[in-house]
């Protein structure tokens, strides 16, 4: 439920996340889930409704996980 609530907050304040050019040149932002700090939400801030690309465990190779999606 916390991940869904976080996604709803991001939909209202989509620029809260961070761009990570060191991980991907894609126009996505990253946000760590407060109650589950090992999880990262990757999303497109400019879309309406908010497009969540992935919810990933932080120990994964984020670059590789995102490359598989695009």
Rounded to two decimals, the pTM is 0.91
Q: Are 35 and 2 in contact (CB under 8 A)?
A: yes
Instruction: Using pLDDT thresholds of 50, 70 and 90, give the confidence band for residue 69.
Output: confident
Average pLDDT, integer, range 37-66: 95
Q: Where are the alpha helices (DSSP H) in the chain?
A: 2-12, 62-69
Q: Which token pair is 54?
A: 């992935």
Q: Alpha carbon 68 to chain centroid distance?
A: 15
As a whole number of Å, the CA-based R_g of the chain is 11
């Amino acid at each position: 439920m916390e991940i869904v609530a976080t996604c709803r907050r991001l939909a209202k304040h989509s620029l809260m996340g961070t761009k990570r050019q060191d991980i991907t040149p894609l126009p996505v932002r990253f946000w760590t889930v407060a109650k589950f700090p090992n999880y990262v939400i990757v999303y497109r801030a400019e879309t309406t409704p908010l497009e969540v690309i992935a919810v990933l465990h932080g120990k994964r190779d984020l670059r590789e996980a995102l490359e598989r999606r695009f």
